[in-house]
Chains A and B, each alone.
Chain A
Amino acid sequence: MTATDPIGTAPAGAPTIHPIPSGTRDVLPDEMRELRAITTTALEVFQRAGYGEVATPALEYEETLARGDVRGAPPAYRLFDEQGRVLVLRSDMTVPIARLVATRFATAEPPLRLCYLAHAYRGVRPQRGQPREFLQAGIELVGAPAPDGTAEALTVLCDMLDAVGLEGYRIGFGDVALYQALLDGYAVAGAQRERMLHELVSRDFVGLEREVAALGLGAEATDLLVRVPQLRGGPEVLADLDGHASEAAEGLRGVHALLEPRVAERLIFDLGLVRNLGYYTGAVFQVFDPALGVPIGGGGRYDELLGRFGRPLPAVGFALNVERLHIALAGEERGERDRGQSS
C-alpha cells in the first residue's frame, strides 16, 4: 500500500495515481469548452450592461472576511504568512469586492458596476455540484438603492441566463427583512426570536410551528407567523397579505412594479426565503431550475456591508455557480432529447 494507492486495490502494472484534495477536481477539454462558452457569454452580457470585470486575490486577510460577516459560509482554508498574519481562501466574492470598492474607488461617483468570474472556497461536504472549490460568475451593483438597483440586478440575471440558453429557470424572490418585520410587529425578541429564525434558516417548519406555539400569541398571530413563511407563488401571494405582513412585503411590491414582464414572470415570490450569509439586508433571490435539485445561485441586497469597510453605500449583487449552471443546462438538453424520443 502506498500513498498514491490509499486502499491498496490497484492491479499490478496500473498507472500511478497522484491524488488531488477532496472536493477539488480537474477539468478536461470537453467540459472546459462548454464551461468556457457559458462564462464567455456571461461576461459579455455583464459588460454590455455596463459592468466592468475585476479580479481580486484568492487569499484575503481573515479579518477582512470576518468584517463582512460570512457566517453560514465561513472560510475553510487558513494559512499564515511570514509575519504570522492569518490568511484565508475567500469563501465568497461579495466581501472582497466590498473591500475593493471601499479602498480603490473611495471617491468614485456611484453607482459602480462590477462583475467577476472567480473561484471561491468553502468547507462543504462534497456532493453533486457542491465541491470545496467552485467557480462563480456574478455582478455587484454598488450605490444603487432599492427598488431600482434590485430591479436592475434581476434584469441582468435574466439576461445572462437567457443568453446561456437556460430555459426552465425561475427566480425565488423574498426579503430577509420580511419575517423580521413580522416579529417586530408582534414584539417577539430575544432568545425566542433567535430560535424562530434558526428554525427558518434550517428549513424546519415543524420546529418553527413549535416555537410559534410556545409564544402563546392569539390564534390569528400564531397562524400568520406559521403560514406566511410557507407562502410562495405568483404576485397573488403578495395581494393576499394584510396587516403587518402586507406592510412587510412593501419592498417586494416596489421591485415587482419596476420589472419588465419577461423578468417578472420568472419570479416566484417566496416569503420564507432566507439566505445563510449574514450581510444580506433586504431583497434576496435564488435561481432554481427543474433540471437540478439544488439552487444554481442567488443574491440579494447588502446595504450595510460597504459601511463596514468605511464607504457606506447601498448595494445589490448575485453570483451563479457556473458548474451547477452547466449541470442544469445539460439536464435540460437531456430532458428535451428524452421527450423527442418518446414522442
Chain B
Amino acid sequence: MSANGGLTIAVPRGALFKETLDLLDAIGIDTREVRSNDRKLLFRDVGIVTMRPSDVPTYVAAGAADVGMTGKDVLMEQPEREVYELLDLGYGRCTMVLASVAGDDPMEEARRRLGMMRIATKYPKIAARHFAATGRQAEMVEVKGSVELAPLTGLVDGIVDLTATGTTLRENGLVVREEIVVCTARLIANPVAHKLKAAAIDELLERVRAA
C-alpha cells in the first residue's frame, strides 16, 4: 500500500499550502512533484488533489476526496457541508476580527445614530452570527476581493476579515476593534470514507499526530 493508504487527499493552495505539504512530507508522502508544478491540480500517484481552501469541504463532503486540510474559517462559513472534523493541525493560525478605520470608530456612530452598521466581509455567515450573538444589527456586504478597501471608500462602516499578523490592516489605516474567533488548519474527512476506509484514515491520523 502507498504512503497515503490509498486515500485521496484534498490539499489547499494559498496560505496553508506550504505547511500542508511540509506535514505530508513529515508523514512520508512524497510532495516533490506537487511543489514543482504550479499549474497541475491532480497528482494521482501520491493521491493528492490541490484546490483553493474554500473548495476543500465541497470535494470532501461529496467524496471526490476522502480527507482534506482547510481552515476553521472555511468550515465555519460552510456549516451545511457534512464532513468529519478530525484534528486541529495547529498551523495557519489566524484571527477573525472586526476592524474599522483608526480614530473615532465609525461603526459606533452608525450603530447609535442609524440603528445598524454596514459590514464588508468574505465571511457573511460568521459575521452575521457574531452580530446576532452580541445583539447588534448589521447589514452584510459580501465582497470577493480586498476587503480593506471597503471602509476606506465609505462603502461600509467596518469589516470582518481574517488576519494573521495585522500588517495589511495597519497599512490601510484600519484597527482591530474585536476578536471574533481564532482559526487554525483542520483535518477533515468524508463521512462515508470515515467508515469504509476507517483503517487508512486512523493510520493517517496517528501519523499526523506523531509528526
- List residues of chain A with CB under 8 Å of any chain B CB: 125, 127-128, 170, 172, 202-207, 232-233, 268, 270, 288-290, 292-295
Cβ contact within 8 Å between B86 and A205: yes
Partner of A205 from the list B62, B82, B85, B190 (CB cut-off 8 Å) is B85
Cβ contact within 8 Å between A232 and B198: yes
Which A residues are in CB contact (< 8 Å) with B171?
none
B78 to chain A, nearest CB (A): 10
**How many residue pairs between the two chains, A and B, have CB atoms under 8 Å in the bound complex?**
57
Contact A293:B192 (CB < 8 A) given known A205-B84, A206-B87: yes
Contact A292:B80 (CB < 8 A) given known A206-B87, A206-B88, A268-B198: no
The answer to whether B9 has its CB under 8 Å from any CB of chain A is: no
Which A residues are in CB contact (< 8 Å) with B113?
none
Cβ contact within 8 Å between B84 and A292: no
A-B contact pairs, 7 of them (CB 8 A): A170-B195, A204-B84, A268-B195, A290-B196, A292-B192, A294-B62, A294-B63
A105 to chain B, nearest CB (A): 36
A179 to chain B, nearest CB (A): 15
Cβ contact within 8 Å between A293 and B85: no
The answer to whether B101 has its CB under 8 Å from any CB of chain A is: no
The answer to whether B186 has its CB under 8 Å from any CB of chain A is: yes
Cβ contact within 8 Å between A233 and B199: yes
Which B residues are in CB contact (< 8 Å) with A202?
79
Among B112-139, those with CB < 8 Å from A are: none
Complexed CA–CA distance, A207 and B83 (Å): 13
The answer to whether B61 has its CB under 8 Å from any CB of chain A is: yes
Complexed CA–CA distance, A207 and B62 (Å): 22
Complexed CA–CA distance, A295 and B87 (Å): 23
Complexed CA–CA distance, A127 and B87 (Å): 26
Complexed CA–CA distance, A217 and B192 (Å): 32
Least CB separation from A270: chain B residue? B195
Least CB separation from B193: chain A residue? A293
> How many interface residues does chain B have, given as a range?
20 to 34
Query: Interface 1/0s, chain B 35-75, versus A by CB < 8 A?
Result: 00000000000000000000000000111100000000000
Query: Interface 1/0s, chain B 177-197, versus A by CB < 8 A?
Result: 000000000100011111110
Least CB separation from B194: chain A residue? A232
Which A residues are in CB contact (< 8 Å) with B62?
127-128, 293-294
Cβ contact within 8 Å between A233 and B196: no
Complexed CA–CA distance, A149 and B27 (Å): 46
Query: Interface 1/0s, chain B 190-210, versus A by CB < 8 A?
Result: 111111101100000000000
Query: Interface 1/0s, chain B 102-115, versus A by CB < 8 A?
Result: 00000000000000
Complexed CA–CA distance, A207 and B84 (Å): 11
Which A residues are in CB contact (< 8 Å) with B196?
170, 268, 288, 290
Least CB separation from A171: chain B residue? B195
Which A residues are in CB contact (< 8 Å) with B190?
293
A117 to chain B, nearest CB (A): 24
Cβ contact within 8 Å between B195 and A203: no
Partner of A294 from the list B79, B84, B86, B192 (CB cut-off 8 Å) is B192
Complexed CA–CA distance, A293 and B85 (Å): 16
Cβ contact within 8 Å between A172 and B85: no
Which A residues are in CB contact (< 8 Å) with B82?
203, 294
Cβ contact within 8 Å between A206 and B198: no
Which A residues are in CB contact (< 8 Å) with B198?
232-233, 268
Complexed CA–CA distance, A295 and B63 (Å): 11
Least CB separation from A209: chain B residue? B88
Cβ contact within 8 Å between A294 and B85: no
Which A residues are in CB contact (< 8 Å) with B88?
206
Which B residues are in CB contact (< 8 Å) with A125?
80
Least CB separation from A288: chain B residue? B192
Cβ contact within 8 Å between A206 and B85: yes
Which A residues are in CB contact (< 8 Å) with B61?
293-294
Name the residue in B194, B195, B198 with the highest tally of chain A Cβ atoms < 10 Å from its Cβ: B195
Which A residues are in CB contact (< 8 Å) with B63?
292-294
Cβ contact within 8 Å between A205 and B87: yes
Cβ contact within 8 Å between B195 and A204: no
Complexed CA–CA distance, A270 and B201 (Å): 14
